[in-house]
Amino acid sequence: MAVDLSSLLGSSSSMPELPWLQLVLTFIVVVNILHTYLDMRQLKAIKLPDPPASLKGLFTRKLYDEAQAYSVDKWWFGFWHGIYNLVETVLWLQLRIVPWLWYSLPSWLPQPLAAIVEDNEIVHTVAFMLASSLINLVLSLPWTLYSTFVIEQRHGFNKQTLGLFFSDLVKSCVLGAVFIPPLVAAFTYILQRAGPWVPLQLWAFVLGVSLFFLTIYPVVIAPLFNKYELLPQGSLRDKIEALAGSLSFPLKKLYTMDGSKRSGHSNAYMYGFFNNKRIVLFDTLIKECSEEQVVAVLAHELGHWKLRHTPINFVMSQFITLANFLLFAGMRTAPGLFESFGFDKSRPAFIAFVLFQFVVAPVDEVIGFITNVVSRRFEYQADGFAVQQGKGKELREALLKLEETNKASLNVDPLYSAYHHSHPHITERLAAIDTALKKGQ
């Protein structure tokens, strides 16, 4: 006897018909009010005339003023971009742009392609997603250009030329044209054919796609945008390999990446499955920090590995994904869902999932907050791990150096930070590191 997993959440046909669009619009407005309240608190914090007492004397007045100006510029950009996104979203929903795009799409295309799109739902869905992606790209492009070539340029971070920017854009579009059609087609096929096991089959499909991209991204996609070179033999490489060896970290390759060709910001990351790990250092990190500071940053990153934060995050994400698909399976035929958003002629399988994303937004907001809470806890633990490896002083120096290099806001509103930030503020991290150092004395 087949088990309908969606029945675990109840039959959608037994749900009352709700004003789905009005509920979604109400939630969008409420969330924007909350975000605006937190944003205003943050603006007040970043405009304070002096840094926190714990950071006084650690940064020059000139640096504080520069960091403050950068933070204010980014705040205003985010504020106006947020208003634009709110207006755009409300208009798309109120004017029924999504159903208009779906139903009118075949008329834009020449024959016989138009007939194929109209007669085959999978082909129609692929064409719809490509058209939606193109529209979103065009609408977001002015904002991206302004952020990169005005704000980042003004504050000395942008290293891109317009030629490089549009070269990256073309590459991204080509990758989208290659990957979107088969992925959307497969997802739609599962929705049409899976029956009672649709949540598990969608989850398995998304898991497989995730593992596929985790495998090909560093070796196929990332090199299209950046140059990766093995870190030359020398004292820095020796120190990193010694740290990895002391922790039994299966380091296979150690790369540098030319992040400076696009931005002055710094970073480092790890990737790879099982006993095949790689570490990538931005060239800006090597340039701005001493060797001991770079090693301390990697001790923090290796702390995430040693404390199993990566597999924990992975399991959490898979649990959330499966729960999301179970909820979707229970709601995809909810009475009035399609009609509320303007789909009164048909009920396309993939569109059900698109509409579900609007309806489930309150849950996503809560999950995002919880994810940040977990992430912040992991950051404290990774800092503590670096202290245990004898790198506490150097990590402290590295965090201050990165704060200086990235012109990060030295003042932050605690409520804004708790809601939006996945990392604790510099003052919180330094206080925790100092406490751990004192305990270790």
**Radius of gyration of the chain measured on its C-alpha atoms:** 25
Question: In whole angstroms, what is the distance from residue 155 CA to residue 73 CA?
Answer: 9
Instruction: Please give the structure tokens belonging to residue 103.
Output: 């139903």
What pLDDT shows up at residue 12? 54
Strands 228-230 and 277-282: unpaired
pLDDT, residue 5, reads 52
- How many other CB atoms sit within 10 Å of the CB of residue 263? 17
**Pairwise CA distance, residues 300 & 229, whole Å:** 23
- The whole-number pLDDT of residue 339 equals 92
Exposure of 315 by Cβ count < 10 A (0-12 exposed, 13-18 middle, 19+ buried)? exposed
Strand residues in 162-317 grouped as ranges (E): 228-230, 251-257, 268-271, 277-282
What residues does 271 pair with on adjacent strands? Answer: 278
Q: Are 81 and 440 in contact (CB under 8 A)?
A: no
Cis geometry, peptide bond prior to residue 414 (ω within 30 degrees of 0): no
440 contact partners, CB below 8 Å, separation of at least 6: 387, 388, 392
Could you read off the pLDDT of 326-347 as tens digits, one per residue? Answer: 999 888 888 889 999 999 878 9
Please state the pTM of the whole predicted model: 0.89
Active site residue 301: yes
Residue type, 375: S
Spatial distance between the Cα atoms of 294 and 296, rounded to a whole number of angstroms: 5
CA atoms of 251 and 286, how far apart (whole Å): 19
151 neighbors 74 (Cβ within 8 angstroms): yes
pLDDT at 22: 93
Q: At what angle do helices 235-246 and 291-306 cross, to 10 degrees?
A: 20
Q: Beta partners for 256?
A: 229, 281
Token pair belonging to 327:
């909820």
- pLDDT for the residue numbered 15: 64
| Interatomic CA distance for residues 187 and 185, integer angstroms | 6
> What would the DSSP string read from start to end of 135-180?
HHHHHHHHHHHHIIIIIIHHTT-B---HHHHHHHHHHHHHHHHHHH
Question: SS3 for 3?
Answer: coil
pLDDT of residue 395: 95
Residue type, 216: I
Report the C-alpha gap between 333 and 312 in whole angstroms.
33
**pLDDT of amino acid 2:** 45
Phi and psi at residue 96, to the nearest 5°? 60, 45
Residue type, 437: L
Catalytic residue among 301, 339, 404, 434: 301
Region at 86 (left for phi over 0; alpha for psi -120 to 50; beta for the rest):
alpha
Helix (H, G, I), strand (E, B) or coil at 360: coil
Q: Are 297 and 289 in contact (CB under 8 A)?
A: yes
pLDDT score for 132: 95
**Candidates 383, 394, 413, 428; catalytic one:** 383
> Block means of pLDDT (10 residues each) for the chain, length 441 residues?
48 68 94 96 95 89 93 96 95 94 91 89 96 96 96 93 95 96 96 87 95 91 92 93 93 91 85 84 91 94 94 93 91 87 89 93 92 96 96 94 91 95 94 90 62
* Residues 427, 55 contacting (CB under 8 angstroms): yes
Q: Is 119 in the active site?
A: no
Using CA of residue 136, residue 137, residue 138, residue 141, what is the dihedral sign? positive
On whether the CB atoms of residues 375 and 150 are closer than 8 A, the answer is no
Give tens-digit pLDDT for 294-306.
999 999 999 999 9
